[in-house]
Chains A and B, each alone.
Chain A
Amino acid sequence: MKPDGESFDSYVAADGAALLRFTYALTGDHHLAEDLVQEALVTVHRRWSRVDRPGAYVRKAVLRQYLSWRRRRSSGEVPAADDVRFEPVSSDHADALADQDALAALLATLPRQQRAVLFLRFYQDLDDAAIGELLGCSAVTVRGYASRGLARLRESTGSSYVRNGRTS
C-alpha cells in the first residue's frame, strides 16, 4: 500500500533502482530497460493520486509494454549479448560466462511471451496463477508458454541442461 502522502518523487527514489534491476533482468538490454521503466513511471505519474500499490502497478506496466506489439515492431528482439561483461578471473569463470552468453542468445530467440513467463518463474519465483494475473492470461496459457520455451531451450542446448532427466 502507498503510505499516506508519499510523493511520486520519494517513491521513485526508493524503488527506482529495484525497478531497473527487475527490468534489466527481464530484457538484458540497458537502453530498453531504461526506456521501459521511464515509460511505466510516466504512466503512474499521471495517475499517482489513484494508484494504491505503485510498485506492483509499475512492474505490471513494464511487462505489458515489453509485450506490446508496437514495441516488438520498433525496438527489436535481439538482446543476445548482455550489455556489461565482467573480466573472467579463471577459465571456469570464463566458461560460465560463455554459457550465460549462449543461454542469453537462445533466450532472445524465444517469443517475448515465453521469455516473460520464464523470467517471472525463475527470477520472481511466481506461480502460474500469479504470472497469469500479471500478463493478463490464464494459468493454463502460462504453463503452455513455459513448456514451449523450456523445450526450445533444451533442443537448442542439447542434453547439457537435462542431465538428471527431470523437466520443469
Chain B
Amino acid sequence: MNDLDTALRSLYTGRADRAPSGHDLLDAVHDRARRDRRRRMIAAVLSVVLLAGAGGLGTALLLRPEENRTLRFADGTAVTRPGPAPIRVGWMPDGYGEQEVQYLGPDAWAIEVFREDPAAALAVQVMSHRPDDRTDGLLTRVGGSTYYWFQPGSGDTTDPSKSSGPFAELTYQRRPGQWIRIVGMSTADTWKRARADLDRVAASITDGTTPVVDTIRLALPAGTAWGRLLAADHHSPTGTVGLPEASTEALLVGAGTPSAAVGPYDLPYLHGAEPTTRLGVQIVDRGGAAVRNLPSEAARKPDGTVPPGTLPLTEIPPEGLLVTIRTTVAFVHPVEGDDRAAVIVRLRADDPLADLGTLRALAESVRLGPDARLGP
C-alpha cells in the first residue's frame, strides 16, 4: 500500500470520527416522512391531471426534502410584502390545518389548507381573469359556474406512492374582475361529496382581506413588483434566472407586468407555473451549501468539473459579495438582524438592476417574517 492509499484511509477514518451524533435523527426522519407523504399524494394527483390535460411540465417539477428551522420574527414595518388576498374563506372541511395564503402573481392568490392523514389539499384561488377550462375529465356547467371532476383508476395498492386521488374543481365569477377557482385534491372519494364541499366553501367566501404568508419583506427596487411569494415548504420550478429550489424565496417581476389567470398546474403545495421573473430572492443558511458553493458554481467548467483549489465561501463580507455565474449574477449578503441567515439575489447579468449599489440596498432591506425558513 502506498502513501496515497494510507492518506485516503486516514482521511475517511478521521471524517467518520467527526460525524454528526444523530441524537435527533429519528424525529427528523418521521417529520420528513410526513412531508414526503403529503408531497407524494399531491404529485400523484398532479401527474394524473397532467396526463389528462393538455401538455405537462416534464421534469420542471422536482420534489426535494428541505430543512425546516424557525426564525425569530424581525421588524419589517419599513419594507413591503405582497398585499393580502381580497377575500375571506369562512369554512373549510374538518380535519384540515390552518389557512395559508400564497401570492401567485399580480392580482392572484391562493388560500390553501392541507390534511395529513389521509393526505388531501384544498385551495381557493382568486384572480382577476377567467382561468382556462381543463380539457379532460367531467366538466359540468351550472349557470355561470363550471364544475370539474376527475377520478383516476385505482393505483397499485401495495405501493401507496402510486395511488392517486380524485380531483374536483369549481370555477365561477364572484364579481366583475374577480374569478374564483376552488381546487380539491383527494378531498372526497365521490363526486357528490366533493361537490358538496366545493359549494359550501364557495358559499362561505366574503369580501375582506386575508394576509399572505409572512416569510420575506423587502424594499422593492425601482421598476419591480412582487411576482410570487409562497409558504416556505412549497415548491416552484426554476425560474427564468436560474433560481434553485429554496425553502424561502420571493420572485420579483417588472413593474407593470399584467395580471393573468392562475395557470392550470399552479396547484396546492406544488406550484407548477410562475410569472416571468426578473429577480429571485432566496433566504439560506450562511454556513450552508448554497453559500459555500457559490465559488464552485462560478468556476465550474462545461464538463461539470471544478478546477482544483476552488475553495468554498466560508464567510460572507458584511458588504456582500457579487458572483458572476455565466449569464447571471448572484449577490450574497447577510440578513440584517439574523446571525444565521443570508440572502442571495439572482438576476441576469445584463439587467440594469445588476448594479452593486442596487443589489446591496435590496439585500440590506430584507427582513424575515415568522413564516420564513432557512434554505440549505
Q: Indicate if B77 sits at the interface (CB-CB under 8 A).
A: no
Query: In the docked arrangement, what's the CA distance between A99 and B7, Å?
Result: 9
Number of interface residues of B (CB under 8 A): 57
Q: Closest approach, in angstroms, between the C-beta of A164 and any C-beta of chain B? A: 6
Q: Which residue of A lies closest to B303 (CB)?
A: A111
Contacts of B289 in A (CB 8 A): 29, 31-32, 75-76
Contacts of B29 in A (CB 8 A): 12, 38, 41-42, 45
Asked if residues B310 and A109 are in contact (CB atoms below 8 Å), the reply is yes
Query: In the docked arrangement, what's the CA distance between A168 and B245, Å?
Result: 40
Q: Indicate if B193 sits at the interface (CB-CB under 8 A).
A: no
Q: Indicate if B376 sits at the interface (CB-CB under 8 A).
A: yes
Contacts of B160 in A (CB 8 A): 46
Query: In the docked arrangement, what's the CA distance between A161 and B308, Å?
Result: 17
Query: In the docked arrangement, what's the CA distance between A28 and B292, Å?
Result: 13
Given A33-B19, A74-B245, A154-B4, residue A100 in contact with residue B14 (CB < 8 A):
yes
Asked if residues B305 and A34 are in contact (CB atoms below 8 Å), the reply is no
Contacts of B307 in A (CB 8 A): 109
Q: Indicate if A119 sits at the interface (CB-CB under 8 A).
A: yes
Interface residues of A in 100-155 (CB under 8 A from B): 100, 103-109, 111, 118-119, 122-123, 150, 153-154
Stretch from B20-28, B81-89, B121-129, B329-337 contacting the other chain:
B20-28
Asked if residues B19 and A31 are in contact (CB atoms below 8 Å), the reply is no
Asked if residues A161 and B2 are in contact (CB atoms below 8 Å), the reply is yes
Asked if residues B311 and A46 are in contact (CB atoms below 8 Å), the reply is no
Query: In the docked arrangement, what's the CA distance between A123 and B5, Å?
Result: 10
Q: Indicate if B293 sits at the interface (CB-CB under 8 A).
A: yes
Q: Which residue of A lies closest to B314 (CB)?
A: A81
Query: In the docked arrangement, what's the CA distance between A83 and B4, Å?
Result: 22
Q: Indicate if B155 sits at the interface (CB-CB under 8 A).
A: no
Q: What total count of A-B pairs have CB within 8 Å?
A: 166
Q: Closest approach, in angstroms, between the C-beta of A135 and any C-beta of chain B? A: 17
Q: Which residue of B lies closest to A160 (CB)?
A: B3
Q: Indicate if A51 sits at the interface (CB-CB under 8 A).
A: no
Q: Indicate if A91 sits at the interface (CB-CB under 8 A).
A: no
Q: Indicate if A60 sits at the interface (CB-CB under 8 A).
A: no
Interface residues of B in 42-86 (CB under 8 A from A): 62, 64-65, 67
Q: Closest approach, in angstroms, between the C-beta of B203 and any C-beta of chain A? A: 39
Asked if residues B16 and A21 are in contact (CB atoms below 8 Å), the reply is yes
Asked if residues B4 and A13 are in contact (CB atoms below 8 Å), the reply is no
Interface residues of A in 1-43 (CB under 8 A from B): 9, 12-13, 16-17, 19-25, 28-35, 37-39, 41-42
Query: In the docked arrangement, what's the CA distance between A38 and B24, Å?
Result: 11
Asked if residues B15 and A34 are in contact (CB atoms below 8 Å), the reply is no
Interface residues of A in 70-106 (CB under 8 A from B): 70, 72, 74-84, 99-100, 103-106
Given A12-B29, A38-B29, A168-B4, residue A80 in contact with residue B22 (CB < 8 A):
no
Contacts of A39 in B (CB 8 A): 32, 65
Q: Closest approach, in angstroms, between the C-beta of A76 and any C-beta of chain B? A: 3
Q: Closest approach, in angstroms, between the C-beta of A153 and any C-beta of chain B? A: 6
Asked if residues B2 and A167 are in contact (CB atoms below 8 Å), the reply is yes
Task: Name the contact of B15 in the complex, choosing from A12, A31, A70, A82 (C-beta under 8 A).
Answer: A82
Given A24-B18, A168-B5, residue A123 in contact with residue B13 (CB < 8 A):
yes
Asked if residues A119 and B12 are in contact (CB atoms below 8 Å), the reply is yes
Query: In the docked arrangement, what's the CA distance between A34 and B36, Å?
Result: 16
Binary contact track A39-56/B, C-beta < 8 Å → 1, others 0: 101100110000000000
Contacts of A37 in B (CB 8 A): 22, 25
Q: Closest approach, in angstroms, between the C-beta of A7 and any C-beta of chain B? A: 11
Asked if residues B296 and A77 are in contact (CB atoms below 8 Å), the reply is yes
Query: In the docked arrangement, what's the CA distance between A30 and B13, Å?
Result: 15
Query: In the docked arrangement, what's the CA distance between A78 and B308, Å?
Result: 10
Contacts of B138 in A (CB 8 A): none
Asked if residues B312 and A81 are in contact (CB atoms below 8 Å), the reply is yes
Q: Which residue of A lies closest to B66 (CB)?
A: A35
Contacts of B244 in A (CB 8 A): 74
Query: In the docked arrangement, what's the CA distance between A70 and B13, Å?
Result: 28
Q: Closest approach, in angstroms, between the C-beta of B292 and any C-beta of chain A? A: 6
Q: Closest approach, in angstroms, between the C-beta of A92 and any C-beta of chain B? A: 14
A-B pairs with beta carbons under 8 Å apart, 15 shown = A9-B26, A16-B25, A25-B13, A25-B15, A31-B67, A42-B29, A77-B296, A80-B311, A80-B312, A82-B18, A123-B13, A153-B4, A156-B308, A161-B3, A167-B2
Q: Lowest 3 A-B CB distances belong to which pairs?
A: A76-B293, A161-B4, A123-B12
Chain A interface residues toward B at CB < 8 A: 9, 12-13, 16-17, 19-25, 28-35, 37-39, 41-42, 45-46, 70, 72, 74-84, 99-100, 103-109, 111, 118-119, 122-123, 150, 153-154, 156-157, 160-164, 166-168
